[in-house]
Amino acid sequence: MAPISIRGLTKRYGNLLAVNNLNLEGVEGEILGFLGLNGAGKTTTIRILLDLLRPNSGSAFILGHDCQTDGLHARLNIGYLPGEMGVYSDLTGREVLDLLAGLSGHAINKARRGELQERLEFPTSDLRRRLREYSTGMKRKLGLIQAFQADPQLLILDEPTEGLDPLMQESFYQLLVDVKQRGRTVFMSSHVLSEVDRVCDRIALVRKGELVLLSGVEELRKLAARPVRVSFADEVQAPAGLPAGAEVIETSPRSWRLTVEGPLGPLLHAIAALPVRDIEIAEARLEDVILKYYRDGKA
Amino acid sequence: MRGAGLLFAYSLKRVRTLTLTTGLLLAALQLVLIFVAGSIQTSGGFDQLSALLPPFARELLGPSVATFMSFSGIVCLGYFELAVMGALIALAVTLATIPASEVEIGFMDLILARPLARHWIITRTIAVTTVVSALMLALMVAGTWTGLRLFAPKGIAWPSATLVNSLAINLGMLTLCWGGVAMAIGAASRRRSVAGGAAGLLALATFLLDYIARLWQPAEKIAWLSPFRYYNPFDLITGSPLPLKNLAVLGAITLTGFAAAYVLFARRDISH
């Protein structure tokens, strides 16, 4: 059963088309990155999954339950981290966690909460403080604890590392690895492409409310152009008649800087007759592909 | 159901300071009024005040004025004094617009991301508004009886328990009525200030309508639109029984407001 299934989802705000005929299927046990620029429709989609917003057409399912007609069952096994932790500032951290745990419909394992606190370096003494005394990072940690504490089957995280320092980001990534190993599914929106590259198994990219890319991270990386630097023992002519997929960035008499999309064989064949001294091939950057989609809607 | 109970307890806990402070102030006001009424009674001031009232004013205010200018009348003033009514209605509006506040700050996202049906949000709000309003009136009634025991001059007739309870019940229904109106507006709002402001302005407008209609005959035609028309403390003080029709009208407005809140909140988009 797909943890998330979105079929023909459309949501309008007046004349603004926020989500347009979106189709998306999650796979159990994966970390699915949900990417897009501001206003692309990421948060709207997440809010429809939580039945906070009602779509104009189409449907969304969580763990086989329709989010609109069977929302209670759909939300029974999810943990949600909103983009902003909107909580009354006069509450203590513990009050927030206890209330949200009580509303989750599951008994909360205190040991699990304690483990999360330890991993995110959130001492119990901080739970006794009121939220008005919390920094942005502390609120984010509290948000992560409330989302993870019931150990749900599906985690829906909206910009989870926003406001976390690099050390906490590292702890969060480890946390994701752990929940994934336990077979949980994570659906997370993010702006941080390096983070997506590191933790996600697949990427769904939306642009102006439409899904423009759904791909595995590894497959996507293969689409990225790899930077290649060729050094020569003697001076050579500027490159001519390079194979398709190779693009010259910069040339000098003894070196060329190129990018190569796809296999490297044709390029190596093309320069085989030249006095090559060295070839440096850097790893393809996922960001380059994604940025193209951001700009053009296609790679 | 357990989740709704938790939410109710949490909401009560959050408003406990506001509730207790308002309740104690209202109860203290009853004590002060009774102390003042006792002092006037002891000094024979009610007779002098009555004699000072010009005939046109006596005619304008009707036969209830004589009853009002008495120890019992002043004791009962605590149930229809403008500040008291304003405080109770403001409290009811504040509580009834809790959902709008939760939507505004984003807390509603966290609540409704759990397996909790939307109707529990409104049910919780109705329960909080009703319990707190009832507590306010209970504290006022307790203040009245405590004040009478402490400050009433010996031998003076106290207002009957029926009268005090009738005033409290009718005032309570008026308070809940505005809670219902505010809840309906708040259920469709993203900002508590907008919902509370709209309900407050509506209350002020209908209060003025009722007030003007009592002085200006042409306004009487539309005065039935004002909920304040269905709370006539002077009639109760002059011995009229608690008018069930008035209670029914206020109850109907309240229930309509609650029903509208359920429908509007169930259908709306939650976005802040």
pLDDT digits (tens, 9 = 90+) for A245-258: 888 899 999 999 99
Smallest CA-to-CA distance from A264 within A244, A249, A292 is with A244
Supply the DSSP symbol for A256. E
- Cβ-Cβ contacts under 8 Å, A102 against chain B: 2-3, 6
In angstroms, how far apart are the furthest CA atoms of chain B? 67
Shortest CA distance from B116: residue in chain A: A72
Query: Is the confidence at residue A298, as pLDDT, over 70?
Result: no
| A108 reaches B (C-beta below 8 A) | no
Dump pLDDT digits (tens) for B86-140. 999 999 999 999 999 999 999 999 999 999 999 999 999 999 999 999 999 999 9
Structure tokens at B241: 């029984």
Structure tokens at B102: 């939760």
Dump pLDDT digits (tens) for B41-84. 888 877 777 777 777 776 666 666 666 778 988 999 999 999 99
Mean pLDDT in residue range A158-180: 94
CB B210, CB B223: distance < 8 Å: yes
Determine the pLDDT at residue B37: 92
Q: How far is B269 from chain A (nearest CA, A)?
A: 5
Helix axes B244-267, B161-187, angle to 10 degrees: 20
Strands A276-281 and A78-81: unpaired
Fold annotation for A4-221: Rossmann fold (3.40.50)
| A90 reaches B (C-beta below 8 A) | yes
User: Please, which residues have CB within 8 angstroms of residue A58's CB and are 6 or more apart in sequence?
Assistant: A6, A7, A8, A9, A10, A21, A22
pLDDT category at A221 given cuts 50, 70, 90 is confident
Structure tokens at A185: 């599914």
Mean pLDDT in residue range A174-201: 93
Burial A27-66 (b: 16+ CB within 10 A, else e): eebbbbbbbbeeebbbbbbbbbbbbbbebeebebbbbebe
Shortest CA distance from A76: residue in chain B: B115
Structure tokens at B204: 């002020």
How far are the Cα atoms of A140, A299, B28, B100 from residue A21, in angstroms, in the given order? 32, 21, 62, 31
**Residue B254 half-sphere exposure toward CB, CA atoms < 13 A:** 23
Structure tokens at A221: 């990386």
The CATH code for residues A225-283 is: 3.30.70.250
Determine the pLDDT at residue B85: 96
Pick from A10, A100, A103, A149 the residue to mutate for testing the B interface (most B CBs within 10 Å): A103
Smallest CA-to-CA distance from B32 within B113, B148, B110, B111 is with B148
Q: How far is A69 from chain B (nearest CA, A)?
A: 11
Of A288 and B199, more confident: B199
Strands (E), chain A: 4-13, 16-25, 31-35, 57-62, 65-66, 78-81, 154-158, 185-190, 202-207, 210-216, 226-232, 246-252, 255-260, 276-281
Strands A4-13 and A16-25: antiparallel
Dump pLDDT digits (tens) for A29-57. 999 999 998 889 999 999 999 999 999 99
SS3 B86: helix
Across the interface, do A47 and B270 touch by the CB < 8 Å criterion? yes
Across the interface, do B105 and A146 touch by the CB < 8 Å criterion? no
CA-to-CA distance for A120 and A127, rounded, in angstroms? 13
Determine the pLDDT at residue A287: 79
The chain-wide mean pLDDT, for chain B, equals 93
ipTM over 0.90: no
Determine the pLDDT at residue B63: 60
Determine the pLDDT at residue A299: 46
pTM here is 0.88
SS3 B95: helix
Burial A208-242 (b: 16+ CB within 10 A, else e): ebbbbbebebeebbebbbbbbebebeeebeebeeb
Supply the DSSP string of A111-143, one letter for each residue.
HHHHHHHHHTT--HHHHTSBGGG--HHHHHHHH
- Cβ-Cβ contacts under 8 Å, A78 against chain B: 113
Across the interface, do B267 and A53 touch by the CB < 8 Å criterion? no
Using a pLDDT cut of 90, give the percent of chain B over it: 80
Domain assignments of chain A as residue spans, ordered by start: 4-221, 225-283
Across the interface, do B106 and A78 touch by the CB < 8 Å criterion? no
Dump pLDDT digits (tens) for A49-107. 999 999 999 999 999 999 999 999 999 999 999 998 888 889 999 999 999 999 988 88
